[in-house]
Structure 1
Amino acid sequence: MPLDLFTPFDLGGLTLANRMVMAPMTRNRADTDGCVPSLMVDHYRQRATAGLIVAESTTVSLQAVGYPFTPGLHTAAQAESWRRLTDAVHAEGGRIFVQLQHCGRVSHPSLLDGQAPVAPSALAPVGQAVTYTGPQDFVTPRVLNTGELPGVAEQFRRASDLAKQAGFDGIEVHAGNGYLIDQFLRDGTNHRTDAYGGSAANRMRLLNEVLDAVCEQWPADRVGVRLTPENGFNSMSDSDPQGHFEYFFGQLSPRGLAYVHVLEGGMATTAVSLDYRALRERFAGTYIANNGYDLDRARAAVHAGHADLVAFGTPFIANPDLVRRYRANLPLAAADPATFYGGGEVGYTDYPFHQDAEAAHAPVAGARHGNSPHSALAGA
């Protein structure tokens, strides 16, 4: 039988019902202490028919926080709150990983108890941070010294241990979108002259140390990595993204990881300038393609062997039953960008399943909307 988006897939011993992945999407609806409220439980339960859910970017420490109302996995209370969510997804037959995150320089002292954000080099991103009191200019980050970097890997190890306690099926290490690990990988933000800077091998050192640490808690085939080779979000750049990321993909290949999850292009566009087929060929394991895929393009990618799985972002926001809609060629509801970030159930848990979808989804007057600029499509 030819491969299709709706054929099952074995991922590290997990049988996925289909090859559709719900991409990690920051929605800014956690509690101020980084715990998961019942609203988030309902949101993920509704979308459990995805072959795999990758839960939204989740901070590995207080130092890692970059946005308001984002969940964490660095306290027992946070893990316990996530457990209610993973149990709900599993009760519906779903599979769920969590994306572990350190925002690095993409933060603000007001989110970090007055401390400066940290980074590989003293280079501030252009623009403004999103804070509890509104937009604030980014500040020049504090450079992490060499002796601190094992501690960053330890933050990820501890979070991965809590992820197991929280009932996740696996973890995804966020190494993209201009956050801390990506800041080390790309030479536009890494100007170091120590063992963590200069060559591609040195710039990959932190990612390798993080993977070594989390694989102490999880088998490698339950650990994925998120990469965004040409994404310019958060003032990112690289002198040779094709060559550097071919090296990174090749170095990841022997690890036996669950997957690489790749944003093909940038968060603001589906246009690409890199040869993603060449990148895909450097990695022997499961490849998840992401960025603006629709049903036809996703099916073609799976059928041609370009992707094993395809991640969808915005379509899952407005269509909790996206798998059914795609399988049956049913019309899709449109997402309301005004409700992507922050707020309550409006634009989050109130999108109807198809049998209730005769009336178009409309935002409720007076609902609170967030203003975070990061893209739901790519998963922040």
Structure 2
Amino acid sequence: MVALFEPIQIGANRLQHRVVLAPLTRLRADENHVIPPDLAIEYYSQRATPGGLLISEGILISEDAGGFPGTPAIYTEEQISAWSKVTQAVHAKGGTIFAQIWHSGRAGTALYTKNHTPPVAPSPIPARGLNVFLNNQPFETPRELSIDEIQDVIQEFVTAAKNAIKAGFDGVELHGANGFLLDQFINSQSNKRTDEYGGSIKNRTRLIFEVADALIDAIGVERTAYRFSPWGGNADVKDDTPYQTWSYILEHLNPKLAYVHFVEPRDDYVRATPDFENSLDPFRKIWKGPFISAGGYSTNPELISSVAEEKPRNLIAVGRAFIANPDLVERLKHQWPLNKYNRDTFYTPGAKGYTDYAFYEPKD
């Protein structure tokens, strides 16, 4: 556990350990996409530690970003005010918190856009399969974004990032993973455009760089980060050359960001069978700054310390185990046993399965 509890610099923030709260959709927001302030304050502050990094659940950037019922947003003053109470509570405990901001693209639905317009995507190709967040209904056929609309989306990310800083977040993590809009542009299966945003790796990743550059100009490099999932597969995304594609991304982002955050191929939450053939190691070698990895640590917690020991500059983002163990950092530090998580309450309203997990009480 030595490396796991060594300090590391993330942007302007000096962390005291490398255990990170992964971004976790919990679907507790109301019909106006406002988090329940009291519950959310307790939820995040329970998991805040001196010098520890929390990454928020995905926060919608605009009224047309799609999403699902219960997802929070950050485009109104009411939403910003609710989040500011969360960041104040985290800072009061000495913690650091980044906002993950996202646009669902074709993974969303017309039910949750401003005027019930179809979801948008790089290409008018519906994801195959069923949308588990929409009562297992088929994914809708999206509308292809025009060049002008792509520029509008970039500005929506900028506005959301500025709003996040206004709300007191220490930085912003761009959600470029898990089959959502930015990830849809990256992957060759979901992006069949023939203009400057499609075709080659250079073109399919163009939006990734344009959004990063816009945020860096707006809020600073030390406050900007990215999340990626080369083998995510969620919402039917797939790339023909993942090592080449994401290596190109990292080579052209180096060393612009506060950190990069990658989902392990062995992630066992979304995928039916963990992938043990592929590895994040080639990406770790390219990236010169802090590198966060997530996926598969909750069901194999011994990996948390071993990856931290073996991979320089690596932080470990934990999801399900952090849901069930608000004091996860202390439990890992002292090797105390972990609570089991209840999957049935991941996405249900209220405090049950959200703020009612027990803290460890050492026996005399």
Amino acid in the other structure paired with 1:263: V
- The equivalent residue for 1:289 is 293
Q: For residues 77 and 270 of structure 1, what CA distance do their matches in structure 2 show?
A: 40
Q: Indicate conservation of the 8 Å contact 2:67/2:109, yes or no.
A: yes
- The equivalent residue for 2:26 is 27
Amino acid in the other structure paired with 2:42: D
Q: Indicate conservation of the 8 Å contact 2:162/2:218, yes or no.
A: yes
Say whether 1:279 aligns with 2:280: no
* Cα shift at 1:136: 3.1
Q: Which runs of 5+ in 2 are unaligned?
A: none
Q: For residues 304 and 127 of structure 1, what CA distance do their matches in structure 2 show?
A: 38
What number of residue pairs does the alignment pair up? 354
* Cα shift at 1:3: 5.3
Q: For residues 316 and 275 of structure 1, what CA distance do their matches in structure 2 show?
A: 24
Q: For residues 306 and 16 of structure 1, what CA distance do their matches in structure 2 show?
A: 15
Say whether 1:341 aligns with 2:340: no
Q: For residues 33 and 20 of structure 1, what CA distance do their matches in structure 2 show?
A: 32
- The equivalent residue for 2:84 is 83
- The equivalent residue for 2:120 is 118
* Cα shift at 1:326: 0.7
Amino acid in the other structure paired with 2:343: P
Q: For residues 24 and 285 of structure 1, what CA distance do their matches in structure 2 show?
A: 20
**Root mean square deviation of aligned Cα:** 1.8
Moved more, 189-198 or 261-270: 261-270
- The equivalent residue for 2:196 is 195
* Cα shift at 1:295: 4.2
Partner secondary structure for residue 217 of structure 1: helix
| TM-score (ref. length: structure 1) | 0.89
Amino acid in the other structure paired with 2:346: F
Q: For residues 238 and 135 of structure 1, what CA distance do their matches in structure 2 show?
A: 24
Partner secondary structure for residue 236 of structure 2: coil
- The equivalent residue for 2:39 is 39
- The equivalent residue for 1:260 is 260
Amino acid in the other structure paired with 1:264: E
- Once the two structures are superposed, residues 256-313 of structure 1 have per-residue CA deviations (whole angstroms, 9 ceiling, x without a partner) of x111100011432542333321111111111101111244322222222255211000
| TM-score (ref. length: structure 2) | 0.93
Q: For residues 46 and 285 of structure 2, what CA distance do their matches in structure 1 show?
A: 35
Structure 2 counterparts to residues 37-76 of structure 1, below 5 A: 37=36, 38-49=38-49, 51-76=52-77
Q: Which runs of 5+ in 1 are unaligned?
A: 358-380
Q: Indicate conservation of the 8 Å contact 1:259/1:288, yes or no.
A: yes
Q: Indicate conservation of the 8 Å contact 1:190/1:197, yes or no.
A: yes
Q: For residues 52 and 91 of structure 2, what CA distance do their matches in structure 1 show?
A: 12
* Cα shift at 1:80: 0.8
Amino acid in the other structure paired with 1:272: F
Q: For residues 323 and 253 of structure 2, what CA distance do their matches in structure 1 show?
A: 31
Q: Indicate conservation of the 8 Å contact 2:259/2:289, yes or no.
A: yes
Partner secondary structure for residue 151 of structure 1: helix
Structure 2 counterparts to residues 167-206 of structure 1, below 5 A: 167-206=168-207
Specify whether residues 115 and 130 from structure 1 end up closer, same or farther in structure 2 by C-alpha distance, changes over 3 A only: farther
Instruction: Give the fraction of aligned pairs with identical amino acids, expressed as a percent.
Output: 39
Q: For residues 241 and 309 of structure 2, what CA distance do their matches in structure 1 show?
A: 30
Q: For residues 177 and 295 of structure 1, what CA distance do their matches in structure 2 show?
A: 22
Partner secondary structure for residue 4 of structure 2: coil
Q: For residues 87 and 130 of structure 1, what CA distance do their matches in structure 2 show?
A: 34
Q: For residues 210 and 43 of structure 1, what CA distance do their matches in structure 2 show?
A: 30
Partner secondary structure for residue 181 of structure 1: helix
Q: For residues 124 and 307 of structure 1, what CA distance do their matches in structure 2 show?
A: 38
Amino acid in the other structure paired with 2:58: S
